[in-house]
Structure 1
Amino acid sequence: MGAMHTIPLPGTPVKLSRLAFGTASLHHLASTRRRADLLRTAFDHGITHFDTSPYYGDGIGERALAALGAAGTVATKVGLYPRG
Structure 2
Amino acid sequence: MKIIKQPVDMIAYFNVEGILMPIKFRLESDDKMLKTIKISNVLYHTEEKFAGNLVRTYACNVIIDAFEKPCELKYHVHNCKWFLFKI
Whose strand proportion is higher, 1 or 2? 2
- TM-score when scaled to structure 2? 0.25
Whose helix proportion is higher, 1 or 2? 1
Larger Rg: 1
